[in-house]
Structure 1
Amino acid sequence: MAENLDATDWTILVELQRDGRVPFTELARRVNLSSSATTERVRRLESMGVIAGYHADVDLEKAGFAVLAVVRLKYPGNRHEPLHRLLSERMEILECLRTTGDDCYTLKVAAASMRHLERLVGELAEFGSTTTSIVYSQTLTYRGPQRPPDA
């Protein structure tokens, strides 16, 4: 898939990750294309699934989630559907990665309080052993992919 992306496509992707609401006329100016060519490229990137959606960047603390944590879960079972169901139901779980190594899953969790986090981790512990790390601060926010060095 990445082989179908040229330097202009990557420039568009970087700009849209900075501001997904940028008007096409401004995006076109930034990438040195006409508005129609820019619109066509964005639509192509969407249809290819490279652009999977547009999202708001929410300040968790201002939205009432004062505690950010990373929870690692060792899941000894082989039926993952019950866990997946919990993951889809609990909106406090922001991200879930299936990983190799000692832990099977790594979750990014936002909680309103330590008590809230404790209850959520308790629910996750029903599936296996957990290790929780509280996030003091976020040194680097998610920035999205940039153009790979070999592209």
Structure 2
Amino acid sequence: MRLTETDLELVAALQEDGRASFESLAGRVGLSRKAVRSRVLRLIADGVVRVVATVRPDFDGIHANAYLSVSVIGARRDEIARTLAEQDEAVFVSIVAGQASVVAEIRTTDLGRVRDLVDRLRGTDGVAAVETIVYTDVVKEPHLPPPLTTGGAAPAIDQTDRTLVDLLRRDGRASYAELAAHVGLSAAATRARVRHLLDCGVARIVTLVNPTKLGRSVMTGFALDLDGPAPDVLARIGEIAAVDFLARTLGSADAVGTIVTTTTEDTIAVLDRIGTLAGVAGLRSWTHLRLVQERYGAPGA
């Protein structure tokens, strides 16, 4: 699919508000509601964007996050990437250029499940080695809901709320009328429930963009060795707009992150900026060649 400037403007608008109405999107790009609806549905059908609800990790009992770097023997890269993508715990899988061939982000209930997945992966034909880095603190994450606004106490959630969240994790743009038909409430009552779930930080509607489909994004992963106070240097790195994700970690690196830019030159400039910060003792990076999976909606979906 060849994207026009109007398509790109619609993508940007959906990233700002995944549930923006077709009317408001039409006003932004200067087209009719019918034309905008057709374009948005095509962007979704072609895999350029996905609009989904994400939830706090504890909503699903998630208490362990890890980053896997997989070295592959011979030409088994695509097969290993597909195998990883089939695992319920793998929310992100990408083929990369660098020391590893495939990287993945794992989200699961506990470190024992991470270990079991790594053991299975190491026993897979074609896997030469698996490097595991465990997250201890997420510094910057574009997909998670904002912090709770209830003074730290988790809001009460009933089965109707959970049903609404599950529906939105499949389709973050589902209308209130469609959602209401599933839960047996009025559209107004359903809207109030959804707004409460979003406002109190249980869920968040996000627009996931496939950079390889977008055609003009360069995605680069990096790992850091630190020799200074981690919170200070990581806070400075997190303030860099091109840094899309950043986590403090245990293992072969003190932190891992992702940079998204529009050109290779921009990526080099950001890496140079990070590598020369006080407190950064070492930096290594890898280039994402093809996104295999990005699944921040319902587990296993």
Q: TM-score range by the shorter chain?
A: 0.7 to 0.9
Q: Distance in 1 between matches of 2:215 and 2:103?
A: 26
Q: Structure 1: how far apart are the matches of 2:115 and 2:47?
A: 37
Contact 2:94 2:103 in 1 (8 A): yes
Letter in 2 for 1:10: L
- State the AA in 2 paired with 1:71: L
Aligned pairs for 1:88-99 (under 5 A) are 88-99=85-96
More strand by share: 2
2:71 is aligned with 1:74: yes
- TM-score by length of structure 2 reads 0.41
Structure 1's consecutive aligned runs of 4 or more residues displaced over 6 angstroms after TM superposition are none
The answer (yes or no) to whether the contact 2:67–2:133 under 8 Å persists in 1 is yes
For 1:21, which of 14, 19, 22 is the aligned residue? Answer: 19
Aligned residues: 147
Q: 1:25 to 1:61 in 2, by over 3 A?
A: same
- The unaligned stretches of length 5 or more in structure 1 are none
Deviation at 1:88, TM superposition (A): 4.1
Task: Check 1:31–1:108 CA distance in 2 against 1; reply closer, same or farther (3 A cut).
Answer: same
Partner of 1:133: 133
Distance 1:139 1:32 in 2: 34
TM-score (ref. length: structure 1) = 0.75
Matched, 1:114 2:115: no
Higher relative contact order (CA 8 A, sep 6+): 1
Contact persistence 2:77–2:95 (CA under 8 A)? no
Aligned in 2, Cα 1:21/1:74: closer, same or farther, shift over 3 Å?
A: same
Partner deviation per Cα, 1:107-131 (whole Å, 9 max, x = no partner): 1111110111111111112233111
**How far apart, in 1, do the equivalents of 2:96 and 2:82 lie?**
18
Which of 37, 42, 52 lines up with 2:35 in the alignment?
37
C-alpha contact 1:10 1:147 (8 A) present in aligned 2 = no
Larger displacement relative to structure 2 (89-98 or 22-31): 22-31
> Any idea what SS the aligned residue of 1:16 has?
helix
Higher deviation after alignment, 8-17 or 75-84: 75-84
CA contact (8 A) 1:12 1:27 kept: yes
Q: Which runs of 5+ in 2 are unaligned?
A: 144-207, 217-261, 264-301
**Structure 1 stretch displaced more, 13-22 or 113-122:** 13-22
Distance 1:94 1:28 in 2: 32
Q: Within 1, Cα distance between the matches of 2:37 and 2:12?
A: 15
